[in-house]
């Protein structure tokens, strides 16, 4: 084998990733999280115009009051007690794409998992990798509350349009 053949093989072995310097899964996940609006519903202060980089995605302080109960966007940082620390990346992908939590509960549809179901497996995995790469922040959000329970925290009440099924999924 001639020397330049060896060099060609070396280039091929790098593949498109090595040559194009593609982003890492964590970088890709960060990009998708920024585009996906996760910050709006999962960071404290968002609805008051007061977010801080330190509390990014550490759980909202406003709940959504829906026909099926009241739900606060939980802490998505990898804190073991109050966030996703004990979830595997595969469990995060399942929640994002099917709405099913590790305990079997199906997430309220205000969490746009029906839309995230359309992400490629690779992109969903990149989001999970980014969430796991964040600094853990300790912050427990309240809820979820059942239909009859009165919230003791700020909520936005979502009134369904006439004709919509009241227990809509």
Binding site for ligand HEC (CB under 6 A): 33, 36-38, 40-42, 64, 71, 73-74, 76, 92, 95-96, 101, 107-108, 110-112, 127, 144
CA distance 126 to 132: 10
CA-wise closest residue to 61 among 168, 165, 156: 156
Q: How far is the CB of 141 from ligand HEC (least distance, A)?
A: 8
Task: Report the residue number, 14 or 40, with the smaller CB distance to ligand HEC.
Answer: 40
Smallest separation (angstroms) from ligand HEC to the CB of 113? 7
Which one, of 118, 131, 127, 114, lies nearest residue 168 by Cα?
A: 114
SS3 assignment, position 72: strand
Q: Note whether 38 and 20 are within 8 A (CB).
A: no
Minimum separation from the CB atom of position 7 to ligand HEC (A): 42
Least distance (Å) from ligand HEC to the CB of residue 33? 5
In terms of CB distance, is 22 or 81 closer to ligand HEC? 81
DSSP state of 52: -
Nearer to ligand HEC, 24 or 34 (CB): 34
């Amino acid at each position: 084998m001639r020397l330049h053949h060896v060099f060609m093989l070396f280039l091929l072995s790098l593949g498109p990733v090595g040559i194009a310097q593609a982003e890492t899964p964590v970088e890709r996940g960060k990009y998708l999280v920024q585009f996906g609006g996760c910050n709006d519903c999962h960071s404290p202060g968002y609805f008051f115009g007061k977010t801080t980089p330190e509390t990014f995605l550490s759980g909202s302080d406003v709940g959504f009051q829906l026909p099926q109960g009241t739900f606060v966007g939980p802490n998505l940082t990898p804190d073991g007690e109050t966030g996703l620390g004990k979830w595997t990346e595969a469990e995060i992908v399942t929640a994002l794409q099917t709405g099913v939590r590790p305990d079997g509960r199906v997430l309220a549809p205000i969490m746009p998992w029906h839309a995230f179901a359309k992400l490629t497996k690779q992109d969903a995995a990149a989001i999970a990798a980014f969430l796991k790469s964040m600094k853990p922040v300790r912050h427990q959000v309240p809820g979820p509350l059942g239909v009859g329970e009165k919230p003791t925290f700020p909520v936005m009440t979502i009134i369904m349009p006439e004709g919509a099924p009241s227990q809509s999924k």
